[in-house]
Amino acid sequence: MPTPPQGRRPTVASARAAIGGNRLFSAVLLAGVLLRVVAMLGYPPALWFNDSYDYVRIADSPFPHPMRSEGYGLFLWLLKPFHSLALVTALQHAAVVGMAVLGYRALVRDFEVRRRWAALALAPVLLDGYQIELEHFLLSDTLFTVLAFAAVLLIARPGQAGWRRAGLAGALLGVAAVTRTVGVPLIAVAVLYLIVRRTRWPAYAALAAAFVLPLGGYAAWFHHDHGRFALTGADGIYLWGRTSAFADCGKVAPPADLARLCPHGAPDDRPAASHQIWEENSPTGWENGRPFDPETNEKAQKFAVWAITNQPLDYVKVVSYDFFVRTFSWRRSPYPTPGTEAKYRFPKRPERHRPLPVIGGGDRLSVVRDYEHGAGRTRVVRPFADVIRVYQSVVNVRGSLLGVVLLAGAAGILRRRARRGSGLFWTTGIALLAVPPLTADFDYRYLLPALPFACLAAATAWGRRRSDAAPVAEAEPEPEERETESQPAGA
């Protein structure tokens, strides 16, 4: 019987060998699946956040939403013919489980990480109680994380990145950026990594072109309806919210045309930065069901730039506090509001949908009814709800532990010179943690997309097999890579 060429293994066989050969990962994977089944049984069909109704409204009749990134709404739109919110949450849970399997396989097969280390690296993704709850929300975070994770794995994969692989990674990053604008800076991280790897120019071209395509298409659609090329019509508002934490018009008066945007009260007595955007009588003029007008968004951006320019140390202070203190604290504080922070824990009682108007027409009740063909109200089913709620309160990755993982990854990178993707994983995690405090505000749910990248960075920096261990087959080179390698030197 002929044997496969040396250095190759069939993909299916490799996946089975990688997973089946590690009892620890198999146990963690099984536990992760069972926990998600308990969550679905305890809280059918889904959990709701304020943003959720905007995404469902997009799905009912797609339009370029002036405040929400479009990607997740279009994902819901694709699933609308099934009229099942339970299907949406089931797919989100399944996507994260699949992401963990993909990550484990890549660590073992491509990055030569010891299987026990690989299993430990993916355990937080599968077992963290807050992660499981976030997957049960109708929010964009889960879809964004899966897209970004797949893209970064492709870029970090050992071997010279060909244009096909780079193009696929760029497309995934572009769709991720349309899903959550925090993904836009990740293209810079990817390009920097390719520069360090000394990748050939076709890979850069493919990465950039594939990244720009979904963003450009959506920006053109946004321009058609709103008259400007952008991904959102509230970027200035969100940056204003960041500066509302420290802007002091009593010390330095702003230009006359921006004075109405001065935050109310003394800086030490104000609500959280992001909350000031939505509170009653906010200088932004927010009303439910009405988008911010373009003039207010433009002036809010000018005010934010003015505040940062005149109070740069105060800006650094609030950003540093959010990044270093709130992000890596052992205990969670009721920030940005007690109600918002409480939503990130499985509830004891179901939350009723209020008939508040939504942007695009209709109200929360009507948009859910149009999508689900039912009320869509969350039900709390015992004993499953009690089990997953208690589990979440005990099993979760504290902010301090996330900090330790990042420090471990950084130490390993410095010691081992960032071999095989460690630097890309680590930088991606840091970017996902830093961009929200820099541009908007801190929120606990923004920690979770960074968690898998921090864990992969530590695992690839410290968990690689010894050189005398059994070799792992390298991935089959892409066609354009084989052709390049076959050419004579200097061709």
Q: Which pLDDT band holds residue 274 (cuts at 50, 70, 90)?
A: confident
pLDDT at 475: 39
Mean per-residue pLDDT over the chain, rounded: 89
pLDDT at residue 471 is higher than 50: no
Alpha-carbon span 4 to 234, nearest angstrom: 56
pLDDT at 158: 84
Alpha-carbon span 53 to 368, nearest angstrom: 7
Q: Which pLDDT band holds residue 51 (cuts at 50, 70, 90)?
A: very high
pLDDT at residue 442 is higher than 80: yes
pTM above 0.75, yes or no: yes
Burial of 99 (0-12, 13-18, 19+ CB in 10 A): buried
pLDDT at 431: 97
Q: Please write the tens of the pLDDT for every residue from 446-461.
A: 999 999 999 999 999 9
pLDDT at 200: 86
Q: How far is CA 219 from CA 28, 174, 353, in A?
A: 42, 12, 32
Percent of the chain past pLDDT 70, that is, above it, reads: 89
pLDDT at residue 477 is higher than 60: no
Mean pLDDT, residues 185-207 taken together:
91
pLDDT at 417: 54
pLDDT at residue 285 is higher than 50: yes
pLDDT at 476: 40
pLDDT at 11: 53
**CB-hemisphere CA count at 13 Å for 485?**
11
pLDDT at 486: 35
- Angle at alpha carbon of residue 99, lines to 97 and 101, rounded to 5°: 75
Alpha-carbon span 302 to 306, nearest angstrom: 6
pLDDT at 2: 46
pLDDT at residue 478 is higher than 70: no
pLDDT at 481: 43
Q: Which pLDDT band holds residue 199 (cuts at 50, 70, 90)?
A: confident
Mean pLDDT, residues 245-273 taken together:
92
pLDDT at residue 485 is higher than 90: no
pLDDT at residue 480 is higher than 50: no
**In 3D, which of 88, 96, 69, 175 has the Cα closest to residue 137?**
88
- Angle at alpha carbon of residue 116, lines to 194 and 418, rounded to 5°: 25
Query: Any idea where the domains of the chain sit in the sequence?
Result: 9-138+355-397, 162-228, 237-311
Beta carbons of 158 and 472 less than 8 angstroms apart: no
